[in-house]
A and B are shown apart, each in its own frame.
Chain A
Amino acid sequence: MNQQASVGNAMMPDTVVSSGVGGMYGEKAGGPVDFSYVGIDAILEQMRRKAMKQGFELNIMVVGQSGLGKSTLMNTLFKSKVSRKSVLATAQEKIPKTVEIKSISHDIEEKGVRMKLTVIDTPGFGDQINNENCWQPIMKFINDQYEAYLQEEININRKKRIPDSRVHCCIYFIPPTGHCLRPLDVEFMRRLSKVVNIVPVIAKADTLTLEERDFFKKKIREELQANGIDVYPQKEFDEDAEDRMINEKIREMIPFAVVGSDQEYQVNGRRLLGRKTKWGTIEVENIAHCEFAYLRDLLIRTHMQNIKDITSSIHYEMYRVRRLNENNTAVAHTNGLPEHHLTAHEM
């Protein structure tokens, strides 16, 4: 039995029905009806419906020393008490002796779009006297999530929708020293930028003046480049020229200098989120004051899908390749077969 597949380019006479609504019945739309309309673009609407029905998932991890305002920033980003501290009403939390990973999930909904948001907290990071290897539990956690997804994916009887617990985005809080990155920051970001999307932010940015802030940011960018650290949005994953343009603008602004707050104050007759001090009120969503709005737009309004895509199609795939190759070499060595023997027989 033979078959030929020839790719022809039949361009359709692409005219859209006069009314803005995708007229499914030619007779319904008023006026001159265009019978050359097929209805292929109705698939967009079908996709949107399907997405709304299924809902979305997002897993964000926050990493930074205690006291940098991680929980507050999360609450500000999602305009509700999503952080762990707000949920578990423990008055005094002791700084744990090792880095712990604690996650908490919420179901939030906005205009019909449902999302399961998981915030993963890492208390104890960078708080010990000896902070060597404090990224290890975090790295292990991230890899464990990839592992769980992989295990489910290679099952024979697998679930219809594999629950996605992979960390999509890791927000790293840099303390506002104003000088440069500390060795801990460099080490952490260097290691983790290879497995997860890292978005560095300068925490508590209201302690820096604008000049200090710009200097600090420039210094950080230089150090990131010098150490070969690729933070989100990574240069190598830009899809086309338009993408690159948008992302270059973002890359010129990272790390975002943010201020978080979940308290509202009256400013100029409006109620705004801010921090009130004796010398003025810092408006969180005012881009003249801090860059919170840019962070929020990047993370949520424009690049959220892209962040999830990079996690699933690049970071997860890299983990999968490593893992599957690992098995080969392990098995090969136990059997005394040379490694090149096996890589040639990729299934």
Chain B
Amino acid sequence: MASSDVARQPDKGVRPLNLAGHVGFDSLPDQLVNKSIYQGFCFNILCIGETGIGKSTLMDTLFNTNFENFESSHFEPQVKLRAQTYDLQESNVRLRLTVVNTVGFGDQMNKQESYQPVVDYIDRQFESYLQEELKIKRSLHNYHDSRVHACLYFISPSGHSLKSLDLVTMKKLDSKVNIIPVIAKADTISKSELHKFKIKIMSELVSNGVQIYQFPLDDETVAKVNTTMNGHLPFAVVGSTEEVSVGNKMVKARQYPWGVVQVENENHCDFVKLREMLICVNMEDLREQTHTRHYELYRRCKLEEMGFKDTDPECKPVSLQQTYEAKRQEFLLELQRREDEMRQMFVQRVKEKEAELKDAERELQSRFEQLKRLHADEKAQLEEKKRLLDEDQSSFSKRRAAAQLLQAQSLTANGKKDKDRKNSGFM
């Protein structure tokens, strides 16, 4: 988002100049603001807390609207994150708000890995921004920034101290996101207990080295308010979207038999402080910190991990581009090598298969030959038999013909006299 900005100290060689009249560039901030109105804003909040601690209700109360909420069960096997995006508008400002809730946080028996899905989610958002930034054809100005700008960590109102799960999770997240701890369901703690609880929490955070988000003090207009608010951390909040009539007004409150806890009453809880700090005063700073501190840290680590490095400008700088190119070359050579390998393997397999098939073919061929020979043999035998049979038949028919001839001759030669003799002879 920050495109052309200037260091706060005047550069050497740049001389200050006085203007003789009204030039008109004091409209620049207005031009900038108008452009931002046109583009719209983006804000992403991550809410971490146990199931049923009031994350969704607080979001509803903060933004004065009913987000779609599902009640989660306590039996999730693993921590999951659910992200929902909404388009809100107030006067002429359009805000694209993404609320990310943890589902099943703190419900498992073994909570050792509970923080991991959260860290992974945050890293994934950084990663996709980094990918977009490194693209050749990129469109950063239209990019929907999904990086988490603020993380509300909901602390259970036990009144004693932080849980170890809380400490472990916050420690893992403090270098990746702006953490704002809040004490949830603060209407269960009395004022004196609350005071002690807050002190205990802050001292535990400090002694464990957890860096929570500090409201910025460098701008005089808000430094005073921010300093006071820094002293009230963590905010004890109560969320409610139900309206109860108090006096002659309808206020957001929770009604108990013993009284009404008014959400927007500063004597009852710190909700108004949270809303003011989170939205009215420091939203832009949260976004900026995410971009310039957390994202840059992620980017640096990621790029160094991938093997890039800067050298100082004295010697020829190994620019990101060159290292990137070198990596790409490496990658492509590797790709080429794998391709060749695969091709070779393929050729090999083909040869083997071919050999196999040839063998099979030869076998078939030999069997065929064999069968043919057998066949031919049998045929020859049969031919032989046929010939013999034919011979027999022909000799037989010859003999019959001869016999018949003889018979015919004797019949005609002897006449009547031989008739009887022939009859008795032939019978």
**Contact mask B316-346 → A, CB, 8 Å, 1/0?**
0101110011001101100010000000000
| A5, B84: Cβ atoms closer than 8 Å | yes
For B392, list chain A residues within 8 Å (CB): none
Query: Closest CB of chain A to B138's CB: distance in Å?
Result: 7
Nearest B residue to A154, CB-CB: B320
Q: Mark B136-147, 1 if CB is under 8 A from A, else 0.
A: 111011000000
Which residues of chain B come closer than 8 Å to A39, judged between CB atoms?
Answer: 90, 275-276, 279-280
Quick one: which of A318-347 are within 8 Å of B by CB?
320-321, 324-325, 327-328, 331, 335, 337, 341-342, 345-347
Q: B53 in the interface, Cβ–Cβ < 8 Å?
A: no
Assess whether A55 is interfacial by the CB under 8 Å rule. Answer: yes
CB distance from A274 to the nearest CB of B (A): 13
Interface: B98 (CB within 8 A): yes
Task: Please report the C-alpha to C-alpha distance between residue A239 and residue B331 in the assembled complex, in whole angstroms.
Answer: 41
Decide if B162 is an interface residue (CB 8 Å cutoff).
no
B residues 374-404 near A (Cβ < 8 Å) are none
Which A-B residue pairs are the 5 nearest by beta carbons?
A305-B31, A39-B280, A46-B284, A154-B320, A164-B4
- Binding-face segment, A8-16, A124-132, A134-142, A180-188: A8-16
Residues of A within 8 A of B299 (CB): 156
Contact indicator A12/B320 (Cβ below 8 Å): no
A331 — nearest CB in chain B belongs to which residue?
B325
Instruction: Establish whether residues A55 and B8, one from each chain, have CB atoms under 8 Å apart when the complex forms.
Output: yes
- Beyond A110-B26, A308-B4, is A12–B63 a contact (Cβ under 8 Å)? yes
Can you pick out 27 interface pairs between chain A and chain B where the beta carbons lie within 8 Å of each other? A3-B81, A4-B84, A10-B88, A12-B65, A24-B280, A25-B272, A38-B62, A42-B279, A46-B283, A55-B8, A56-B5, A57-B5, A105-B14, A108-B25, A110-B25, A113-B28, A113-B29, A156-B308, A156-B309, A301-B24, A305-B31, A309-B3, A309-B35, A324-B136, A341-B332, A342-B332, A345-B331
A6 sits at the interface (CB 8 A)? yes
- Asked if A235 CB lies within 8 Å of chain B CBs, one says no
Contact A80 B18 (CB under 8 A): yes
Q: Please name the residue on chain A nearest to B251 by beta carbon.
A: A35
B7 within 8 A of A: yes
| B64/A301 in contact, CB under 8 A | no
Given contacts A7-B87, A154-B320, A156-B303, contact A48 B29 (CB under 8 A): yes
Supposing A116-B11, A163-B7, A327-B321 touch, asked if A38 and B85 sit within 8 A by C-beta, the answer is: no
Given contacts A9-B87, A22-B280, A305-B31, 5 further A-B contacts (CB under 8 A): A3-B81, A51-B33, A156-B299, A157-B310, A342-B328
Residues of B in contact with A (beta carbons under 8 Å apart): 2-8, 10-11, 13-38, 41, 62-68, 78-93, 95, 98, 100, 117, 120-121, 131, 134-138, 140-141, 218-219, 221-222, 251-252, 264, 272, 275-276, 279-285, 288, 292, 296, 299-300, 303-304, 308-310, 317, 319-321, 324-325, 328-329, 331-332, 336
- Residues of B near A335 (CB, < 8 A) are 329, 332
Q: Is the CB of A79 within 8 A of B20?
A: yes
> Closest residue of chain A to B79, judged by CB?
A1
Residue of B nearest to A166 (CB): B4
Is A237 at the interface (CB under 8 A from chain B)?
no
B residues within 8 A CB of A161?
2, 5-7
Which residues does chain B contribute within 8 Å of A300, judged by CB atoms? 23-25, 27
Q: Is A79 touching B19 in the complex (CB atoms < 8 A)?
A: yes
Indicate whether A44 sits within 8 Å of B3 (C-beta atoms), given known contacts A9-B86, A113-B28.
no
Q: Which residues of A contact B288 (CB under 8 A)?
A: 50
Docked CA distance A13–B78 (Å)? 37
CB distance from A175 to the nearest CB of B (A): 27
With contacts A39-B275, A46-B284, A309-B3 known, is A3 near B80, CB below 8 A? yes
Enumerate chain B residues within 8 angstroms of A66, measured Cβ to Cβ: none
Q: Is A302 an interface residue (CB 8 A)?
A: yes
Are A51 and B283 within 8 A (Cβ)?
no
Cβ of A238 to closest chain B Cβ, rounded Å: 13
Q: Which A residues lie within 8 Å of B309 (CB)?
A: 156
Q: Which residues of A contact B28 (CB under 8 A)?
A: 51, 56, 113, 115, 304-305
Shortest A27–chain B CB gap in Å is 8
Residues of B within 8 A of A304 (CB): 25, 28, 31
User: Shortest CB–CB separation between residue A78 and chain B, in angstroms?
Assistant: 6
Q: Smallest Cβ distance from A77 to chain B, in angstroms?
A: 7
A38–B81 CA distance with the chains assembled, in angstroms:
26
Residues A301 and B25 in contact, CB atoms below 8 Å apart: yes
Within the complex, the shortest CB–CB distance from A321 to chain B, in Å, comes to 6
Q: Is the CB of A46 within 8 A of B90?
A: no
- CB pair B87 A10 closer than 8 Å: yes
User: Are B33 and A48 neighbours in the complex by a CB distance under 8 Å?
Assistant: yes
Cβ of A157: which chain B residues have Cβ within 8 Å of it? 300, 310
Is A93 in contact with chain B by the CB < 8 A criterion?
no
Contact: B17 with A54, CB < 8 Å? no
Task: Pick the contact of B4: A4, A42, A77, A312 (CB < 8 A).
Answer: A312
Contacts of A347 in B (CB 8 A): 131, 134-136, 324, 328
CB–CB B16/A106 < 8 A = yes
User: If the complex has contacts A14-B89, A36-B64, A300-B25, are A306 and B219 also in contact, measured as CB distance less than 8 A?
Assistant: no
Cα of A50 to Cα of B28 in the assembled complex, Å: 12
Query: Residue of B at shortest CB range from A23?
Result: B280
Q: What is the bound-complex CA distance between A26 and B265, given in angstroms?
A: 10
* B64 and A38 within 8 A (CB): yes
Tell me if B15 and A106 are in contact (CB < 8 A).
yes
In residues 95-136 of chain A, which contact B (Cβ within 8 Å)? Answer: 105-116
Quick one: which of B23, B41, B131 contacts A78, CB cutoff 8 A? B23
Would A10 and B221 count as touching, CB distance under 8 A?
no
B67-A8 in contact (CB<8A): yes
Let me know if B10 and A107 touch, CB within 8 A.
yes
Chain B's nearest CB lies how many Å from the CB of A246? 12
Instruction: Establish whether residues A105 and B13, one from each chain, have CB atoms under 8 Å apart when the complex forms.
Output: yes
Q: Is A151 an interface residue (CB 8 A)?
A: yes
A158 interface residue (CB < 8 Å to B): yes
Chain B residues with Cβ below 8 Å from A2 are: 80
Q: Is the CB of B35 within 8 A of A305?
A: yes
Residue A160 lies at the interface, judged by CB distance under 8 Å to chain B:
yes
Is A81 an interface residue when CB atoms closer than 8 A count as contact?
yes
0/1 string, A157-199, CB within 8 A of B gives 1? 1101101100000000000000000000000000000000000
